[in-house]
Amino acid sequence: MKIIYIKSDKKKPAIFFDRDGVINRDVAGKYITDINDVNIYKTAIDGLRKIDSNKYHLIIITNQSAINRGYITIEEAVDINNYIVGLLKENAININAIYFCPHRPDENCSCRKPIPGLVYEAMKDYNIVLKESFMVGDKKTDMDMAKELGIKKIMVKTGQYRNEILKYGDIGYDFIVNNLKSLNKYV
């Protein structure tokens, strides 16, 4: 599923961002079911403002199994995404689109990360130079999707980073940043 905010025919790479734990706070085991649950990192705003949107498509790729688990409706998920993109826009950050997977893991869909289905979907809507693109995430599934696509993997130490390291040890990223504030050093 997708929400397109800004169309663009321009041929350029993309920065794909995970949402929870990267742009907004993510509490382990807790789903965002309401706009009141949304806490955007100040460092994400500071960092995203430094990224040149003329140079990249800015696209959010997010697993939102809360939908098919029955915690939120698609409409509520859309409202939450619109709210996040709206807050970013107020800060002069222009997100092109959000692609989200509504499925539970047991549904074995082709769009839940680490499967790159949502990126393939985005490539139909935008002219993306994939080999120069980046994926920014806080989980191994984000890095695994990037690996599958052959794009650069950037891990952020916010969100689930700590839990993921404890769980997997080596996560396999190309670059690591404390938060999005220093992302501009690598893209």
Site for Mg ion in 76-105 (CB under 5 A): none
What does each C-alpha distance from 165 to 126, 138, 168 come to in angstroms?
33, 10, 5
Minimal distance, residue 27 CB to Zn ion, in Å: 22
The reply on whether position 115 binds Zn ion by CB under 5 A is no
Residue 121's binding partner, choosing from Zn ion, Mg ion, none, with beta-carbon cut-off 5 to 8 A by kind? Answer: none
Dihedral pair phi/psi, residue 72, rounded to 5°: -140, 155
- Which residue, 68 or 163, is less far from Mg ion as judged by CB? 163
Residue 18's binding partner, choosing from Zn ion, Mg ion, none, with beta-carbon cut-off 5 to 8 A by kind? Answer: Mg ion
Residue 44's binding partner, choosing from Zn ion, Mg ion, none, with beta-carbon cut-off 5 to 8 A by kind? Answer: none
- Which residue, 8 or 179, is less far from Mg ion as judged by CB? 179
Minimal distance, residue 52 CB to Zn ion, in Å: 31
The catalytic residues are 18, 20
Task: Write the binding mask 90 to 109 for Zn ion: x where contact by CB under 5 A, - elsewhere.
Answer: -----------x-x-----x
The reply on whether position 113 binds Zn ion by CB under 5 A is no
The reply on whether position 119 binds Zn ion by CB under 5 A is no
The residues near 69 (Cβ < 8 Å, ≥ 6 apart) are 31, 104
CB atoms within 10 A of CB 135: 29
What does each C-alpha distance from 138 to 20, 71, 179, 180, 185 come to in angstroms?
8, 23, 10, 11, 18
In the chain, what is the straight-line distance between the N-terminal and C-terminal CA atoms, in Å?
Answer: 27
Instruction: State the number of CA atoms in the 13 A half-sphere of 178 facing the CB.
Output: 5
User: Which residues make up the interface to Mg ion (CB under 5 A)?
Assistant: 18, 20-21, 138, 159
